[in-house]
Amino acid sequence: MPIEQIKDIVDYGIIGLLLFLSFVTFLFGIERLLYFRSIKLERYQHQKALELDLSKHLSTIASIGSNAPYIGLLGTVLAIILTFYIIGDQQDTINPAQIMKHLALALKATAAGLVVAIPATIFYNALLTKVDRLLSEWEILQDSKQ
């Protein structure tokens, strides 16, 4: 695989995928917050039905939060392979500036993975706390009906 293709995979493929996952996390997080604000607990007769509605998309956010660092790590590994290939390809002199540029590319992929994972994990935990709170409020509502 040519050097430029590996660089493009890291730049556009890995980081593009991470940007897409960040967008999905933000979209699902906002959707859940709006849903939680509009939910009418008194409509639910069964706790399981409420749980199903409340937890929709939460597993996707959790999966993104837990897997984004690995996607960034994949980009890092590819960029380091590229850097070693460049070092090995240089016969007489090693250009430190070119090597530093490629190592920076590797760190960019790692950073992007963390930038996606940290907010996704925070979103997931905050939404899960809200789910627990709404379930408790529903139980209180059910107890007051009896």
For residue 55, give both structure tokens. 């937890």
Give the CA radius of gyration of the chain: 22
Q: What is the pLDDT of residue 65?
A: 96
CA distance 4 to 27: 33
Q: What is the pLDDT of residue 66?
A: 97
Q: What is the pLDDT of residue 36?
A: 96
Structural domain count of the chain: 1
Q: What is the pLDDT of residue 17?
A: 94
Q: What is the pLDDT of residue 88?
A: 80
Q: State the angle between helix axes of 15-38 and 58-89 in degrees (0 to 180), rounded to the nearest 10.
A: 170
Q: What is the pLDDT of residue 145?
A: 79
Q: What is the pLDDT of residue 128?
A: 96
Helix (H) or strand (E) holding 123: helix 96-145
Half-sphere exposure of 48 (CA within 13 A, CB side): 0
Q: What is the pLDDT of residue 12?
A: 83
Residues of the chain whose pLDDT is less than 70? 1-3, 91
- Give the domain range for residue 71: 3-145
Q: What is the pLDDT of residue 31?
A: 97
